[in-house]
Amino acid sequence: MGIQLSPFYNRLKKRYPQFPTSCGIYLDVVQGGESGFAWLKGRKCRTATFSDEQELKQMLDSSYSPHVAVVSTGTEVRVTQRYFSILRLLNEEQVPIVTTELTPILQAFTPIDGLTPWRWLEENGIRILPTPSLTAFYATVTALTGYFFLNDEFEFLPELQSVVPLLLENNPLFTYLRQIPYGEVTTFAELAKLLGLHWNEKRVMAELSRLPGGAEVFGHRVVNRDGNVSEFYPEGKELQRDLLKWEMVPFLNEKAVDLKLALWTKQKYRNLTNYLRHVHQSMKFIELTFNEIEKILGFPLPRAARRLGSWWDDEMPHAYIWQGGGCRLISVNMQRQAVAFSRKETAESKGK
């Protein structure tokens, strides 16, 4: 498994000057080789490997008294004698225990500038001693998961019986937040509806209130069901209002967004997606004026879409609107108030 680092590490240096003490234990029970140990305190992380319970006990007795110990394994390998021996040892040492799988934590990681993971962490203020092996690095990731657990910033994946840091990129709430277009907003109630039975407004509010300032999701684009800016936005109502006004979101007054014009829902742009998917299949290029798009949609485009060519970029959150219709953006002509798309080549069309 290749090592890649998640964007959530970027937030560590922005928000958290000190870490509670946590230790991470990664059990390499599949191969039966050495397992990893990492002890995190302040901004220092000490790593080691161990091959048996006695070595681990010596580490825990050497002033490594953590607030929590997180034990991680690979997938479906928790029913081994060694795994239960480690849990029994931690219980004897009276250390609070959290268990998880490493796989869902690593799944959300993205590459970081070609640096080795421990070198990148050190350059961002987390000193790892000594430079760890791969196994010990897995233990370091596990210890960081314990840190998020201690700060009540985690989600529990019941199907895997795993604890995952809340700020990992696969959090379903953040998946929807990234789809809200520039210049629009949604409400806590609407997000809860999208997320399903286990979510409600209060849970969405609680998750967003723990979102660090500067996080790479659009928490400022969520407002109360009456359109008022929210006290749950971590950086405050005033900054939320300023950010939304900067994005040309229409307001009814100084406190409330005009939801009739600005409310985004998952299905809002479905008519345009369907139009691009089905209209004139033989056409390789499709050009539409903003007025024509508004007729297809049945409501006015956001102010930002009419004034900013960048609103239509393929890298923007709402590119799913036309990409779901099998198209990619070619150009936006703000003078003519028109946008041009081309159809993506499919395997079938290439064969012809």
CB 223 within 8 A of CB 229: yes
- Supply the CATH number for residue 219's domain: 1.10.10.10
- Supply the CATH number for residue 94's domain: 3.30.420.10
Residue 341: give the domain boundaries: 270-345
Successive 10-residue mean pLDDT values, the chain, 352 residues: 42 51 81 80 84 85 78 73 85 86 68 58 74 84 83 73 69 80 92 84 80 67 91 80 92 92 91 89 88 95 92 87 92 94 65 46
Last residue of a domain, one of 262, 290, 314: 262
Pairing of the two strands 162-165 and 22-27: unpaired
Last residue of a domain, one of 140, 165, 190: 165
Are 328 and 208 members of one domain? Answer: no
- The one-letter code for the residue type at 333 is N
Total domains in the chain come to 3
Q: What is the pLDDT of residue 4?
A: 39
Measured CA to CA in angstroms, residue 5 lies from 12, 110, 114, 125 at distances of: 13, 5, 10, 15
Q: What is the pLDDT of residue 179?
A: 84
Are 112 and 234 members of one domain? Answer: no
Are 12 and 159 members of one domain? Answer: yes
Are 203 and 298 members of one domain? Answer: no
As a whole number of Å, the CA-based R_g of the chain is 24
Are 38 and 139 members of one domain? Answer: yes
Q: What is the pLDDT of residue 14?
A: 46
Instruction: Tell me the DSSP string of 37-54.
Output: EEEEETTEEEEEEESSHH
User: What is the reported pTM?
Assistant: 0.59
Place of tokens 């967003």: 208
Backbone angles phi, psi at 129, to 5 degrees: -130, 130
- Stretch (H or E) spanning 347: helix 347-351
Are 218 and 84 members of one domain? Answer: no
Last residue of a domain, one of 113, 144, 165: 165
Are 127 and 80 members of one domain? Answer: yes
Instruction: Order across the sheet with 327-333: list the strands.
Output: 285-289, 338-343, 327-333
Q: What is the pLDDT of residue 269?
A: 93
Whether 351 maps to a domain, the answer reads: no
Are 190 and 68 members of one domain? Answer: no
Are 156 and 34 members of one domain? Answer: yes
Measured CA to CA in angstroms, residue 226 lies from 101, 185, 186 at distances of: 41, 12, 11
Q: What is the pLDDT of residue 347?
A: 37
In sequence order, the 6+-apart residues with CB closer than 8 A to the CB of 48 are 36, 37, 38, 59, 136
